[in-house]
Structure 1
Amino acid sequence: MGYIDTAYYNDEYKGVDAGDDLERYIERASELIDEVTNYVLNNREFEEFASFIQKQVKKATAAQVEFYVVNGGPEQLDAGEDYSNFAIGSFQYSKGGAAENEQAARVSPKVFSLLAPTGMLYQGVINGG
């Protein structure tokens, strides 16, 4: 089950029209939010989290859905196609600079900025003692 529904995406977030793919994009975006947050949301009921965290997760999910809409869907982004370097005949194109993180290319930059203040992006070890 996704972190948002179609009403939230259309009426509150007011995202770009996803057409018939909206429900599928919501599910894929919710799965990606789980990946990015190292599945911290899966251990508890969503409603148990503070309202600020719920709000940020919903916004991040909607932002990811919109990212899918404007970038050809999750299939296109997850395909891992790399067009940073290619050649056609004598023409060559190179994006240059450091290699981009492939994971980052799949995720809307807005997702990271929305989730950062929640602490859910922390990947370190938590001392339980």
Structure 2
Amino acid sequence: MPYLTYEEYIDLGFEEMEQSEFEKLLKRASGVLDSITRYFYRHNDLESDVEFRKEQFKKALAAQIEYFYDMGATSSHGINEPGHVQIGRTSVSKGGRNSSGQDEQKNNLVSDDVYTYLSGTGLLYRGIGVRS
């Protein structure tokens, strides 16, 4: 069973798209969120979970779908831009330095909004229990 329906996606106020496009992106975005949450909802029922966590997970999934749609790609290779392009004598380099002066190299596969929605839900951390 999918984590999010097209109707829920629209009701949450995210960018409208064809339902067939949504269905395609839903599968890829669900895989990304499964990985981030260490497959929590593969082992637990989303619909019977606490309302807050369920709602935040669905918003995070919708944000990831919208991100894939806006970027026009669903893989890190398709999303990440080359750092340098040269055509003839024209050269363009991607700028971007962080506060320490180092080039920013980050995986842009996951929307920053996903982490914002999942923050405070407990879904980003799965610690190991200690037995005494």
TM-score range, shorter chain: 0.7 to 0.9
Cross-structure match for 1:14? 13
Cross-structure match for 1:120? 123
SS in 2 for 1:79: helix
Q: Give the whole-Å Cα distance in 2 for the aligned partners of 1:72 and 1:80.
A: 8
Q: Give the whole-Å Cα distance in 1 for the aligned partners of 2:80 and 2:48.
A: 38
TM-score, normalised via structure 1 length: 0.82
Stretches of structure 1 that go unaligned for 5 or more consecutive residues are: none
Quote how far apart the aligned CAs of 1:29 are: 1.3
Q: Which moved more, 1:19-28 or 1:78-87?
A: 78-87
Larger Rg: 1 or 2?
Answer: 2
Quote how far apart the aligned CAs of 1:87 are: 2.5
Cross-structure match for 2:104? 99
> Contact 1:85–1:95 (CA<8 Å) still a contact in 2?
no
SS in 2 for 1:120: coil
> How do residues 1-129 of structure 1 correspond to structure 2 at under 5 angstroms?
1-10=1-10, 12-19=11-18, 20-75=20-75, 77-79=76-78, 81-90=80-89, 91-97=91-97, 98-102=103-107, 105-122=108-125, 125-129=127-131
Quote how far apart the aligned CAs of 1:71 are: 0.9
Cα RMSD of the aligned pairs, angstroms, is 2.0
Q: What are the superposed Cα offsets for residues 97-119 of structure 1, whole Å, 9 maximum, x if unpaired?
A: 233222xx011111000001112
> Contact 2:73–2:79 (CA<8 Å) still a contact in 1?
no
TM-score, normalised via structure 2 length: 0.80
- Count of residues paired in the alignment: 124
Q: Which runs of 4+ in 1 moved over 3 A?
A: 77-82
- Give aligned-pair identity as a percent: 27
Q: Give the whole-Å Cα distance in 1 for the aligned partners of 2:57 and 2:106.
A: 22
